[in-house]
Amino acid sequence: MSAAKYSKGEELAQTYAQAAYQHTTQGWLSGLNAVHERLAADAGLLADLDNIDVGFEERQARLDGLLSSDVQPDVRNFLYLLLREGHLGLLGDVIADLTRFSTRGPEAQIARITSAVPLTSDEKEAFRQRVHARFGPDVDLDFRVDSSALGGAIVQVGDKIIDGSVAGKLNALHERLAALR
C-alpha cells in the first residue's frame, strides 16, 4: 500500500471514528441533560427518586415519565442504574465529567476545589496557578461551595486530597487528642 493511500485511509477512518464518537456522546449528553433539567426544576421529585426506601419499580415508573420516547436504550439503562443506587443526584456531576471527557479525553485530570464560601476571581486564579504548578497545566479546575468546610479549602486531584479546611483541621486535632487518652 502506498503512503498516499495509507494516509487517506487513516484520515477517513479517523473521520468515521470521530463522527461515531460525537454521535454517541451527543446522544448520551442530550438524554442525560433532558432528565437533569427536569429534575433540577423539581427538587422534591429528585429526592423522591433517590429515596431507595421506595420500591424500585415505583421510582422507575416515575423516571420513565420524565424520559422522552427517543432516549437511547443504553442511556435509559444507565439512568436506571443511578436510580437503583439512589444516585440520580449525581447526574449533574456525571454530565460535567462526560462533557469534559468528550472534549479533553478520559485521561483529563480535574482538580475539585471546595471552599466554605464562593471564591473571588483573584482567589480562583491563585488556586489555578498553584494547582497547575503542582499537577501540570492540563488540569481542569472545578470550584464548589460546601459550607460544612467552615473555612479554608479542600483540593482533590484524582486520589490526592489536600485538606486545608477548618473542619479538616479540627477533625485532625480531635483525632490527635483522642489518641493521647
Confidence check: pLDDT of 75 > 80: yes
- CATH code of the domain containing 41: 1.10.520
Count how many domains the chain has.
Answer: 2
25 in the same domain as 92: yes
Residue 142 and residue 96 share a domain: no
Q: Give pTM, 2 decimals.
A: 0.63
Check whether residue 135 and residue 91 sit in a common domain: no
- Whether 57 and 121 map to the same domain: the answer is no
Q: Tell which of 105, 130, 145 closes a domain.
A: 105
Round to whole Å and give the CA distance between 86 and 76: 15
Same domain? For 96 and 66 the reply is: yes
Would you state the pLDDT for residue 156?
A: 87
Q: Are residue 97 and residue 36 in the same domain, yes or no?
A: yes
pLDDT on residue 4: 47
- pLDDT value of position 118: 92
Q: Which amino acid, residue 20?
A: A
Domain match, 96 and 149 both = no
Q: Are residues 97 and 152 in the same domain?
A: no
Same domain? 100 vs 166: no
Output the nine-digit C-alpha cell for 44: 422534591
Domain boundary among the residues 80, 105, 130 is at 105
Rg, C-alpha atoms of the chain: 22
> What confidence tens digit (pLDDT) does each residue in 24-69 have?
888 899 999 999 999 999 989 999 999 999 999 999 999 999 998 8
Percent of the chain topping pLDDT 70: 94
DSSP string, the chain: --HHHHHHHHHHHHHHHHHHHHHHHHHHHHHHHHHHHHHHT-HHHHHHHT-TTS-HHHHHHHHHTTS-TT--HHHHHHHHHHHHHT-GGGHHHHHHHHHHHHHH-TT--EEEEEESSPPPHHHHHHHHHHHHHHH-TT-EEEEEE-GGG-SSEEEEETTEEEE--HHHHHHHHHHHHHHH-
Instruction: Decide which of 88, 105, 122 is a domain's last residue.
Output: 105
Same domain for 138 and 64: no
Structural domain that includes position 43: 1-105
Contact 54, 48 (CB under 8 A): yes
Together in a domain, 3 and 49: yes
- Residue 175 CA to residue 63 CA, distance in Å, equals 43
> Same domain for 84 and 150?
no
Going by C-alpha positions, the residue among 88, 85, 64 that lies closest to residue 76 is 64
